[in-house]
Structure formats: structure tokens, C-alpha cells
Amino acid sequence: MPLRDFFDLFFRRRATGSAGLPEREPLPSRLTYPDSLDEPVQICNPKVLLIILDPVMDASSRRTLSSEMGWARADDLAGRFISEILQVSAGLVRYRIGERIELNEFPRLADGFAYDAQTYRDVLRDASAAHAPSGFDYMSIFERFAVLRRIERREIDEVWLMGFPHAGLYESIMAGSKAFWCNAPPLTQTSSCRRRFVSMGFSYERDLGEMLHSFNHRAEAILAKVFNSLDFLAWSYQRNRDPSTIRPDQSLNLFERFILFDQIAPGAAGVGSVHFPPNGIRDYDLGNPRLVASNSYDWLRFPGFKGDVRMISATEWGGGSERAYQRWWMQHLPKTAGRKDGIHNNWWQYIANLDNVPS
């Protein structure tokens, strides 16, 4: 289900029936710590189970799908992604591949269907429609490779599935006990696992920019959980927002202020969201030359805001490049020492370590 359609459905289910944004629910339970100006930032070292889904398309030559189509090497993409996250997090997130598995077969979809070489070629050539429903069978992979047990034993911390078009993968999905929405509904069949974890869905038919895009939706969802802002995030992505903008006197938390863009906060944009840059007027409007007032430079000083508001446009993040914008967005995420109101000033230690996220 596309992100916006899911948000529309989610928001309708949670609507209060009264005009305006729904009232924020009480913050999730968290241990109460005193505020700190110098609590050290936490460096995260997540161990990844990398599973590459690269089916054999010719039995005699053992030529795989990625080779036949001339798509990227999954290992190269994974290595570049790890380097990119290390850079944009200023060294605070240090991913490492704990184990690499390559499956040279078409994985099963949620209803039991699996492509073969010919039926998949037919889809790529538009000779037949893609199979529907298209959802991926996560449980068959998790059971096959004892993922839940290994997560509990801390042998791995998350899963990266490297797939291909029509494999049915979500960009990210959360599993385990007390899993929550993470750009997809939680995998409730995994609730017996005592640790939460994220399974990322990447595609070697795409490039690094799309990988960062997927990861940043994960970041949005996790931070929305930490700040109890899922309703606000859902509202910001709606097609026909009601109300269309925030109220001038509306009280916003730090995450909500971070994702503001001019369309919902005229004259008061923050850094924007994954789909909407500060000056965006529609999804993926990354190359918009329109100048808007934004405090994005102030976020580089977090938490010591100075009221630095500047007129910015797409030239700030290099024009319409997906990779350039997602990097720019990530580089503005707070990553400093200290803690305020029970929330760490280093947001990366939530994004990359679910053990830090309140239940």
C-alpha cells in the first residue's frame, strides 16, 4: 500500500470526529531522567543480517536476475549505504554486516505465489500483469533463517532484504514484541520475539538515493513514536489536510517543528519531511526553485537555537537529486550531547537502536 494511502486510512481510523488535528495522547511510558546538558551521545553499532534475493534466470549458465538486467550489485549498494549513514550521522551509526545470505530463487509472496524466470520476464516486458496481492512472505524467511531467535540473542539487530521490483517488500517494517507502525503495519505474527527490530526492504534495481529515502521513512516513524507525533505526521502527508495549515498558536514538539514545510506552516518551514522539502508543494517536489523562509540552519545548532531564519530553495540540497536531498535532511537530524524532558538530544540513537525507544 502506498505511503500516502496508508496514512489516509490510518488517519481516518484515528480521527476524533471534531475539526482540526486530533488531541495528542499521553506520552508513552519512559523512565524519568533529569535533564542533562552533557550526557554523552551513544554510538550505535547495529549488526545486520543481509539477505540478497537474486533469482537464477538461466539454469545452465546460473545467470542471476541482477546480471541479466544489468542492475546494481547488491553488495556494492549495501557497502555504499553503510558508508553514507556513517557520514551523515557524523560517525554515530556504524552498521556492519553480521551475516550475508544470497538466495538464488524467487521468494514466496504472502499468498503462497512465487514467480519463476518466465513469469517474471513476462511482467518486466508488460506481457502480463504483476501478481496481486503483491505482499512479501516475511515469516517464511524469518523462520527459515531463525531470525527471531537470533534477534533475541543479539546475534543480529536488524534485517536488510535486497530485492527487486514486484518482490512485495515494504521499504521498512517492524517486527517483535511491541512493534509499531514503521512505514508499514507491524508484523503481528512476530510478537513472541522479545526484541523489536526493523526489516528494511531495498531494491538493487534502484540506487543509493532510494535507499536513503526508505531509511528516512523509518526515521520519521521512529521519531514520531518517541515524540508521540504519529497523528501529526499522518496529517502532514494527507492529500486534503483539514485543517490545511497549523494554527499560529499551536504548540509543537521538537520533531513536529523539525518536519515543518511551508505548505503547512507558511513562513515558518523547518527542515521538511521525506517527501516534502521546506518549499515543497507536492510529494517529491525536490527541485522546486521557490524561495521560502526556513530555520533549517538553526537546526544545525541544536539545541542552541539562535532564531536563524533564511530564504532557501532547492539549491540548498543540490536541486532535484533524491540522494542529495535525503542526505541534507539526515545531516540536520540532532546528534548532540544532552537530554531534555526525557528525550536524548541525539536522535540517531533512537533511529538505529530500538532498545532506546519507549514502549
pLDDT of residue 3: 54
pLDDT of residue 19: 40
**Cβ(287)–Cβ(319) under 8 Å?**
yes
How crowded is residue 311: how many other Cβ atoms within 10 Å of its Cβ? 10
For residue 89, count CB atoms less than 10 angstroms from its CB and return exposed for 0-12, middle for 13-18, buried for 19 or more: buried
pLDDT of residue 16: 35
pLDDT of residue 15: 38
pLDDT of residue 13: 41
Question: Cα-flanking dihedrals φ and ψ of residue 173, to 5°?
Answer: -150, 145
Q: What are the respective helix, strand and coil percentages of the chain, to the nearest 5?
A: 30, 15, 50
Cell of 332: 540536520
Which amino acid is residue 109, in one-letter code? L
pLDDT of residue 156: 98
Question: Cα-flanking dihedrals φ and ψ of residue 201, to 5°?
Answer: -120, 105
Helix axes 74-88, 208-226, angle to 10 degrees: 50
pLDDT of residue 32: 60
Q: How far is CA 341 from CA 40, 230, 254, in A?
A: 16, 19, 11
**Cβ(182)–Cβ(221) under 8 Å?**
yes
Q: How far is CA 340 from CA 150, 187, 308, 347, in A?
A: 34, 32, 21, 12
Q: Please give the Cα distance from 144 to 177 (Å, whole number).
A: 20
Roughly how many angstroms between the first and final C-alpha of the chain, as a whole number? 26
pLDDT in tens, the chain (359 residues): 455 555 554 444 443 333 455 445 555 445 566 899 889 999 999 999 999 999 999 999 999 999 999 999 999 999 999 999 999 999 999 999 999 999 999 999 999 999 999 999 999 999 999 999 999 999 999 999 999 999 999 999 999 999 999 999 999 999 999 999 999 999 999 999 999 999 999 999 999 999 999 999 999 999 999 999 999 999 999 999 999 999 989 999 999 999 999 999 999 999 999 999 999 999 999 999 999 999 999 999 999 999 999 999 999 999 999 999 999 999 999 999 999 999 999 999 999 999 999 98
pLDDT of residue 7: 53
Q: How far is CA 290 from CA 118, 262, 293, in A?
A: 47, 11, 10
pLDDT of residue 4: 56
pLDDT of residue 34: 83
